[in-house]
Amino acid sequence: MVMMTSKILTFITQREERHQKEAEKREVEKKKNSVWDAMKEVPDLDDRIKFKAVTLIYSLGMKYVFIDMSIEERYGWIQSNVN
């Protein structure tokens, strides 16, 4: 009986850990794929510039490039490419 209880508890614990890891992975993927979240990290930009930049990023197909940039690189890219 004790052996069975131990196995059940181990199974439940492993299942909970797996669910937690999957939830964390989904959250990371969600953040990783969000140009708008990356844009919000860039300081000192008004909304008009942010909207223009997001439109340009998608039209150029550079979503992942932009997301992978540092905040400083994003700011520089926006300053160079958005009027």
**What pLDDT score was predicted for residue 11?**
85
Distance of CA 31 to the CA centre of its chain: 2
The DSSP letter of residue 41 is T
Whole-number mean pLDDT of the chain? Answer: 89
**What pLDDT score was predicted for residue 42?**
95
User: What residue spans define the domains of the chain?
Assistant: 1-32, 35-83
Dist CA 52 CA 46 (whole Å) = 10
Least confident of 6-10, 14-18, 52-56, 63-67: 6-10
**What pLDDT score was predicted for residue 9?**
87
**What pLDDT score was predicted for residue 4?**
77
pLDDT at 69 exceeding the cut of 80: yes
Output 58-66 pairs: Cβ under 8 A, ≥24 positions apart.
63/33, 63/35, 66/35, 66/38
